[in-house]
Structure 1
Amino acid sequence: MLPKLSDDCISSVLALLDSQLSYRQIAKRTGLSIGVISKIRTEYRPDIENQPGGRPRVLTPADVRHAQRLICSGKADTATKVTSIL
């Protein structure tokens, strides 16, 4: 259950959620906890998809295919050689 929040506070959180900001960024701007922001999203905007978490990929899919091609063709024997070529 949500704590008592003003309508202005909830509407500002919803506007920030609609602008695709992360929970952490919204928490810094509003002073609310990440848990409260999550509860507001669950109650008022259940259709918004969750943002992917974790570290972004270092290699693009094209880089991965190129590395596989280098190894299969014998142009690179080790990961170190692949790294130097990429």
Structure 2
Amino acid sequence: MRSLSSTQRNTILTMLDSGHSASSIASSTGLHCKHFTILRSKEHSSLQKSTGGHPSKLSPANVCHAIHLISTQKAENAVQVTKSLTNIINQPLHPNTVHQHLKKTGMKAVVK
């Protein structure tokens, strides 16, 4: 790995501080992402890494509504909750998504 000039180093550190992703820094500076991870670990170890991924399809209000549907026995399982939530949010939704969100809130599947 070649050494970085002080201007490159300062540019990378300011971009990291401002929250830019490694790929956006790489495209603007022309350097490899490896440089940024090494600099971040040495100089700014307190900075959080980007969590990545995509935003959740279900908002906290939607999850609360799903819990309400199950607790009031208007729906028995994730498939029925998915059908009612799909009508509300007007987006395709998979029952596994609802199941995972309900699981995060502490709800568990119960055998009849």
Q: How does 1:1-86 map onto structure 2 within 5 Å?
A: 3-76=2-75, 78=80, 79-86=82-89
CA–CA separation in structure 1 for the residues paired with 2:88 and 2:13: 47
Aligned pairs, number: 85
Q: CA distance change for structure 1 residues 81 and 62 in 2, over 3 Å: closer, same or farther? A: closer
Q: CA RMSD in A?
A: 1.8
In the alignment, structure 2 segments of 5+ residues that lack a partner are 90-112
Larger RCO (CA under 8 A, 6+ residues apart): 1
> By how many angstroms is 1:72 displaced?
3.2
Q: CA distance change for structure 1 residues 85 and 73 in 2, over 3 Å: closer, same or farther? A: farther
> By how many angstroms is 1:21 displaced?
0.7
In the alignment, structure 1 segments of 5+ residues that lack a partner are none
Q: CA distance change for structure 1 residues 74 and 85 in 2, over 3 Å: closer, same or farther? A: farther
CA–CA separation in structure 1 for the residues paired with 2:27 and 2:17: 16
User: Please, what TM-score do these two structures have when normalized by structure 2?
Assistant: 0.66
> By how many angstroms is 1:74 displaced?
3.9
User: Please, what TM-score do these two structures have when normalized by structure 1?
Assistant: 0.83
Query: Percent of counterpart pairs with the same letter?
Result: 33
> By how many angstroms is 1:46 displaced?
1.1
Q: In 2, are the aligned partners of 1:76 and 1:82 still within 8 Å (CA)?
A: no
Bigger shift: residues 35-44 or 9-18: 35-44
Q: In 2, are the aligned partners of 1:24 and 1:34 still within 8 Å (CA)?
A: yes
Q: CA distance change for structure 1 residues 74 and 84 in 2, over 3 Å: closer, same or farther? A: farther
